[in-house]
Amino acid sequence: MRLRRKVCLLGASGVGKSSLVRRFVEGSFDQQHKPSVAMSVFSGTVELGDVALEMMIWDPAGAESRGQYNRSFISGASGLIFVVDATEPQTLDTLLEAQAKERGFIGSRPAILVVNKADLTGDFAISKAQIDAAGKLDWRLIQASAKTGDNVGKVFTTLAELMLEARKATG
């Protein structure tokens, strides 16, 4: 069975949203990548048993840096990937504040919180208290590195599994 689902990336500019999705879709990392200036849509597929789940991944140009989500952007999404920068703790604080304010329209969609740039262990700046606060949300937290590829596949596979579970639950 082949399914196609919309997935939205959310997070401040510079956290590595585009790099993360490029690593998943193309298997590459561009050290010289310039920040996105417009919406990009990527397509990547996760195979789970007899289901091929094609993700149409919507990647905005960092518009959420002020903690504002675009409702029309999220509309119709089956899953969300929130991305923060492990070396910039304010990216998680902004996301947590926005989530508290905007929960009504984000709803109960399956969501993953990606702490990107986990390869920069010497510069890791997110505190245990921040991780604990994020852990109270109904999101899966995964530390990943778009640069090295560590756990990038896990991000998309886990989201695919959660989306299929949600699909079964709603019948």
Model-wide pTM > 0.85: yes
Tokens of 57: 């991944």
Distances (CA, A) of 128 to 73, 125, 132, 139: 31, 10, 6, 16
Instruction: Show the domain range for 143.
Output: 2-170
Q: Give the CATH number of the domain where residue 95 resides.
A: 3.40.50.300
C-alpha of 130 from chain center = 17
SS3 content of the chain, % helix, strand, coil (to 5): 40, 25, 35
Number of domains present in the structure of the chain:
1
10-residue mean pLDDT profile of the chain (171 residues): values are: 94 90 92 72 95 93 56 86 93 83 72 94 87 82 95 98 88 62
